[in-house]
Every structure is written in C-alpha cells, then in structure tokens.
Amino acid sequence: METPVKLIIAAAILLLIGAVLPFLMVLELLEPTFFLSFLSMACSTVGLITGFIGIAQYVAARRQRD
C-alpha cells in the first residue's frame, strides 16, 4: 500500500510544479522561455498520468484487501 501513496504524492508535487511555473512566468518573476514552458507542460502531463496510475494501484490494493 505504500507505493501507490508515494506515486500519488509524487504526482501532486509534479502537478504543483506544473501550475506554479506558469504562474511565476505570468508574474514575470521567471523569464518565460521555451524550456520553462515545455518543462511546465511536461510536469503537468507526467503528474496527471502518474496520479492516475497511483490511484488505480491504490484502488486495486484496497479491493484485494477487502
């Protein structure tokens, strides 16, 4: 049960990075570059996929336990 929780936490961190980077670019605290935009999009996408995998593993482990 520990691995799905770690995946969900990692996904939340990636999604947070994917949301904070564009926000900082809009506020002009970070210079908006192609690399930062791509990194932000990649973090959001990978975080979303990782979160779905973590949730699926968590639900499967709970169903086996019950």
Phi/psi of residue 43, nearest 5 degrees:
-60, -40
Query: What pLDDT was estimated at residue 65?
Result: 85
Plot region of 28 (φ>0 → left; ψ -120 to 50 → alpha; else → beta): left
Count other C-beta atoms under 10 Å from residue 23's C-beta: 11
Can you give the pTM of this predicted structure? Answer: 0.89
Q: Length of the chain in residues, anyone?
A: 66
pLDDT in tens, the chain (66 residues): 679 999 999 999 999 999 999 999 999 999 999 999 999 999 999 999 999 999 999 999 999 987
How far apart are the C-alpha atoms of 39 and 25, rounded to whole Å? 12
